[in-house]
């Protein structure tokens, strides 16, 4: 017999299945921090990104409290790429967070917001030499990613006639796979130690920190314990061998938010570690393994702080019946605004209670692209044109990765702690889109 590859087909849910009745209670959210969702879309348009300053502050305080109650010197560095809207960065800076950037653009954006070089960590695998030189001159914390960067920095040290304080980024096996091994120097095979030795022998740079960022949406607190242990062991060793005094270890970001990863069956409340569990894993490993003076502890957490503070409001435009009987809703927000739709099953809330039977439905965006799917399998009552849906949590990586594609990108608002909404990003328009285009003379 000819071999046939086995396949698994999803069984579409009908009225009842072993997973229970689809006639679930409707999940309703009619307001965000006291502001009615219809009032928001009427005033600012739809779709609309909405951020809650209250949630941003609560999350930040929760993480800060868990770490500072366990460890003497902790600093938070806001990861710009997670969400670099000025208003959002400003809130974190006002709360005491410094800046973590991974490109010259993000560096410039932080400087423009008034952040001094010394309060910026410059990470990333691609730091063009002139950008690196500016950052060095301004006293930024440079985290070296590869051997070429050591050479670049030594040249800059000669050009500026100064010794440059640096940190290196490390990667390692933390027990979570696939491991992120393409950034920095590997600790397990001795490469990180060799890099420190190379820096020491070059006599132009001084090592002041050790950094790692082990991944994103890490569901294991244990991985951070392993990471911290390895960073601290490397610290002990290079202090002893080279006489360095390592001021800080930076354990990066990557803490998970309460989002629902596709393929993960259990609820986020069950699988996502708490701030307390992350803090305990990291700080206990420092106490257990550190020899000599305790280093400062730096965190670059992004997603876990902002994801739950972000909502996307979208309005139902039409519905249709697909050939397989499923109901499809066309809404005004597409995957060009929701980059993370590829990984998450978002929570989707209705603006009010709807009459009628729930049925298997899907939610599609406005793009003329088959991939524009916001929710593939969702049980919904019959919705009307004009129904407003709230998609949550979307605060991390969506604004920064959203693209102008087919339609204009929408506005973003911030609701302050008094419940007043403020515009923080204007929508794109035609002028904005064509501003950088050039029509050659001969085509005019
Ligand atoms: C992206 C990034 C972060 C933030 O990661 P989150 O998963 O959003 O917490 C921190 N550090 C570095 C180096 C990064 O690249």
Query: How confident is the model at residue 24, as a pLDDT?
Result: 59
The backbone torsions φ and ψ at residue 119, rounded to the nearest 5 degrees and listed phi first, read -100, 20
Q: Which of 12-16, 76-80, 115-119, 226-230 has the lowest mean pLDDT?
A: 12-16
Residue among 97, 253, 307 to mutate when testing ligand 1 (max atoms within 8 A of CB): 253
Tokens coding 177:
């796979």
Residue 12 has pLDDT above 70, yes or no: no
Q: In this structure, are residues 305 and 88 in contact, taking their beta carbons and an 8 Å threshold?
A: no
Task: Give the pLDDT mean for 316-320.
Answer: 98
- The CATH class, in words, for 84-301 is alpha beta
Would you place residue 170 in the very low, low, confident or very high pLDDT band (cuts 50, 70, 90)?
very high
Say what the pLDDT of residue 416 is: 98
Rounded percentage of the chain residues whose pLDDT exceeds 70: 96
Task: Tell me how far the alpha carbon of residue 165 lies from the centroid of ligand 1, in angstroms.
Answer: 22
Task: Give the range among 33-37, 212-216, 258-262, 284-288 with minimum mean pLDDT.
Answer: 258-262
- The CB of 184 under 6 Å from ligand 1? The reply is no
> Hey, which of 124, 167, 252 would you mutate to test ligand 1's pocket, going by the most ligand atoms within 8 Å of its Cβ?
252
Which atom of ligand 1 approaches the CA of 303 most closely? 8
Protein residue with least CA distance to atom 3, ligand 1 = 253
pLDDT for the residue numbered 110? 98
Cα separation, 200 vs 215, in Å, equals 29
What pLDDT, on the 0 to 100 scale, is given for residue 15?
54
The pLDDT score that the predictor gives to residue 19 is 52
The reply to whether ligand 1 has any atom less than 6 angstroms from the CB of 100 is: yes
Give the integer Cα–Cα distance in Å for 186 and 169. 9
Of residues 415, 422, 409, 392, the one with CA closest to residue 312: 392
Instruction: Give the pLDDT score at 262.
Output: 87
**Confidence at residue 358, expressed as pLDDT on a 0 to 100 scale:** 87
- Ligand 1 pocket residue status of 301, Cβ below 6 Å: yes
Q: What integer pLDDT is reported at residue 224 of this predicted model?
A: 98
Domains of the chain, residue spans? 17-51+308-429, 84-301
pLDDT cut 90: percent of the chain above it: 89
Taking the centre of ligand 1 as the mean of its atom positions, its distance from the CA of residue 81, in whole angstroms, is 8
Establish whether residue 302 lines the binding site of ligand 1, counting it when its CB lies within 6 angstroms of any ligand atom: yes
Residue 144 has pLDDT above 60, yes or no: yes
pLDDT for position 127: 98
Residue 364 in contact with ligand 1 by CB distance below 6 A: no
**Is the CB–ligand 1 distance for residue 340 below 6 Å?**
no
Token look-up 């699988």 returns 271
CATH code of the domain occupying 17-51+308-429: 2.40.37.10
Which pLDDT band, with edges at 50, 70 and 90, does 204 fall under? very high
The pLDDT score that the predictor gives to residue 43 is 98
Average pLDDT of span 324-343 = 94
Main-chain phi, psi angles of 205, to 5 degrees = -120, 150
Query: What pLDDT shows up at residue 13?
Result: 53
Q: How confident is the model at residue 220, as a pLDDT? A: 95
Rounded to the nearest angstrom, the distance between the alpha carbon of 360 and the centre of ligand 1 is: 37
Q: Residue 409: CB within 6 Å of ligand 1?
A: no
Q: What pLDDT score does 265 carry?
A: 81
Ligand 1 pocket, residue 256 CB under 6 Å: no
Which residues fall within 8 angstroms of residue 199, CB to CB, at 6 or more apart? 150, 166, 168, 205, 206, 207
Is 170 among the catalytic positions? no
pLDDT reported for residue 213: 97
pLDDT digits (tens, 9 = 90+) for 351-374: 999 998 889 999 999 999 999 999
- pLDDT greater at residue 377 or residue 84: 84
Distance CA 119, CA 140 (A): 7
Residues 217-263: tens digit of each pLDDT: 999 999 999 999 999 999 999 999 999 999 999 999 999 999 999 88
Quick one: 318 exposed, middle or buried, by C-beta within 10 A (0-12, 13-18, 19+)? exposed
Q: Given phi > 0 = left and psi -120 to 50 = alpha, else beta, which region is 412?
A: beta
Is residue 22 scored above 80 in pLDDT?
Answer: no
Indicate if the pLDDT at residue 107 is higher than 90.
Answer: yes
Q: Which of 60, 75, 81 to mutate to test the pocket of ligand 1 (most atoms within 8 A of CB)?
A: 81
pLDDT at site 130: 97
Residue 8 vs residue 45, higher pLDDT? 45
What is the pTM assigned to this prediction? 0.94
Å from CA of 180 to ligand 1 middle: 12
Among 20-24, 93-97, 246-250, 303-307, name the one with the lowest average pLDDT: 20-24
d(CA 268, CA 261): 8
Cα(381)–Cα(353) distance, integer angstroms = 9
Mean pLDDT within 416-430:
98
Q: What is the 3-state secondary structure (H, E, C) of the chain?
A: CCCCCCCCCCCCCCCCECCECCCCCCCECCEECCEEHHHHHHHHCCCEEEEEHHHHHHHHHHHHHHHHCCCCCEEEEEEHHHCCCHHHHHHHHHCCCEEEECCHHHHHHHHHCCCCHHHEEECCCCCCHHHHHHHHHCCCEEEECCHHHHHHHHHHHHHHCCCEEEEEEEECCCCCCCCCCCCCEECCCCHHHHHHHHHHHHCCEEEEEEECCCCCCECCHHHHHHHHHHHHHHHHHHHHHHCCCCCEEECCCCECCCCCECCCCCCHHHHCCCHHHHHHHHHHHHHHHCCCCCCEEEECCCHHHHHHHEEEEEEEEEEEECCCCCEEEEECCCCCCCHHHHCECCEEEECCCCCCCCEEEEEECCCCCCCCEEEEEEEECCCCCCCEEEEECCCCCCCCCCCCECECCCEEEEECCCCCEEEEECCCCHHHHHCCCCCCHHHC
Per annotation, catalytic residue among 270, 368, 438, 439: 368
More confident residue, 262 or 204: 204
Distance from residue 302's CA to the centre of ligand 1 (Å) = 6
What mean pLDDT is reported for the chain?
Answer: 95
């Amino acid at each position: 017999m000819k071999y046939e590859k086995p396949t698994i087909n999803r069984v579409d849910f009908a009225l009842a299945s072993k997973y229970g009745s689809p006639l679930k209670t409707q999940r309703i959210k009619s307001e965000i921090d006291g502001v009615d969702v219809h009032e928001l879309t009427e005033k600012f348009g739809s779709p609309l990104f909405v951020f809650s300053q209250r949630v941003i502050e609560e999350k930040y305080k929760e993480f800060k409290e868990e770490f500072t109650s366990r460890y003497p010197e902790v600093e938070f560095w806001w990861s710009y790429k997670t969400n670099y809207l000025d208003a959002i960065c400003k809130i974190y800076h006002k709360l005491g967070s410094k800046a973590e950037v991974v490109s010259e653009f993000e560096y410039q954006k932080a400087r423009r917001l008034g952040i001094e070089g010394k309060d910026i960590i410059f990470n990333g695998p691609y730091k063009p030499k002139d950008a690196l030189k500016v950052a060095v001159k301004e006293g930024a914390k440079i985290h070296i990613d590869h051997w070429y960067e050591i050479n670049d920095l030594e040249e800059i040290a000669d050009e500026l006639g100064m010794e440059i304080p640096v940190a290196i980024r490390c990667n390692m096996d933390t027990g979570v796979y696939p491991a992120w091994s393409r950034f920095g120097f590997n600790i397990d095979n001795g490469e990180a130690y060799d890099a420190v030795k190379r820096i020491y022998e070059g006599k132009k740079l001084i090592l002041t920190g050790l950094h790692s960022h082990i991944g994103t949406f890490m569901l294991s607190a244990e991985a951070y314990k392993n990471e911290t242990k390895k960073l601290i062991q490397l610290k002990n060793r290079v202090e002893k061998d080279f006489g360095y005094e390592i001021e800080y270890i930076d354990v990066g970001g990557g803490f998970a938010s309460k989002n629902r990863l596709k393929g993960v069956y259990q609820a986020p409340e069950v699988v996502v570690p708490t701030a307390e569990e992350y803090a305990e894993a990291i700080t206990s490993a420092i106490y257990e393994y550190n020899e000599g003076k305790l280093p400062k502890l730096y965190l670059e957490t992004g997603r876990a702080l902002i994801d739950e503070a972000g909502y996307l409001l979208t309005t139902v435009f039409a519905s249709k019946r697909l050939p397989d009987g499923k109901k499809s809703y066309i809404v005004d927000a597409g995957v060009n605004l929701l980059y993370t739709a590829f990984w998450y099953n978002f929570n989707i809330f209705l603006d009010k209670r709807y009459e009628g039977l729930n049925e298997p439905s899907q939610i599609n965006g406005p793009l003329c692209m088959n991939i524009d799917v916001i929710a593939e399998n969702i049980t919904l009552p019959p919705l009307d044109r004009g129904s407003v849906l709230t998609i949550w949590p979307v605060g991390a990586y969506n604004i920064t990765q959203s693209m102008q594609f087919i339609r204009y990108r929408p506005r973003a608002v911030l609701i302050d702690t008094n419940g007043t909404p403020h515009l923080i990003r204007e929508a794109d328009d035609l002028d904005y889109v064509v501003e950088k285009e050039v029509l050659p003379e001969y085509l005019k």
